[in-house]
Amino acid sequence: MTASKKIDVFISKEAIDKRVKELAEMINRDYQNQEIIIVCVLNGSFIFCADLVRYITVPVQIEMVSLSSYEGTESSGEVSFRLDVKQSLVGKNIILVEDIVDTGLTISFLLKHMKLKNLASLKLCSLLLKRARLKIEVPVDYLGFDIEDKFVIGYGLDFDGHYRELPYIGVYGA
């Protein structure tokens, strides 16, 4: 049973909150006097995105996309849309907000898709990056934490649908 496994805190609630605030400050500085659209990559980013946007002080709209690419603990490498943005993004400043870049395949697919939309600008904000796992170069403009190759859960991240509700980022204990 997943519920009985021991989970160790890997990144504390306090450390996450501090870093999320810092990321929002960078975004606020970079987009002074401009409007942005934050595109939350569901499902894993919903908590990060909700916390981040509450520190954003420039005018912001929030959209959601959902991609299917991941089952269990291994990325399948095949990506498709479950949900795409409905409004036109032409001429808009877009920031994709992702929970974690692992192999990079999912976000590369989305970046490629977004680049076709005649945007004013496109940036990527990811809470986590597992640099050692990258299979493709991914430009992360706003990065929360560069982490080692561990499977992490909590703060929106799941293992088979569980643990998203944890207020910290955790790893399975020994």
Residues contributing to the site for ligand IMP (CB under 6 A)? 44, 69-70, 75, 98-107, 151-153, 157
Residue pair 41/110 in contact by the 8 Å Cβ criterion = yes
Q: What whole-number distance in Å separates Cα of residue 123 and Cα of residue 110?
A: 11
By beta-carbon proximity to ligand IMP, the closer residue of 116 and 149 is 149
How near is the Cβ of 69 to ligand IMP at its closest, in Å?
Answer: 5
Instruction: Single out the residue of 128, 120, 117, 107 nearest to residue 47, CA to CA.
Output: 128
How many residues belong to the chain? Answer: 174
Residue 102 annotated in active site: yes
How near is the Cβ of 47 to ligand IMP at its closest, in Å?
Answer: 12
Phi, psi of 32 (to 5 degrees): -50, 135
Helix (H, G, I), strand (E, B) or coil at 124: strand
How near is the Cβ of 41 to ligand IMP at its closest, in Å?
Answer: 6
By beta-carbon proximity to ligand IMP, the closer residue of 93 and 103 is 103
Q: What whole-number distance in Å separates Cα of residue 40 and Cα of residue 47?
A: 10
Cα-Cα-Cα-Cα dihedral of 36, 41, 42, 47, to 10°?
Answer: -60
Of residues 17, 99, 102, 160, which has the active-site annotation? Answer: 102
By beta-carbon proximity to ligand IMP, the closer residue of 31 and 85 is 85
Residue pair 76/69 in contact by the 8 Å Cβ criterion = yes
Q: What whole-number distance in Å separates Cα of residue 165 and Cα of residue 13?
A: 12
By beta-carbon proximity to ligand IMP, the closer residue of 31 and 170 is 170
How near is the Cβ of 81 to ligand IMP at its closest, in Å?
Answer: 14
- Catalytic positions: 102
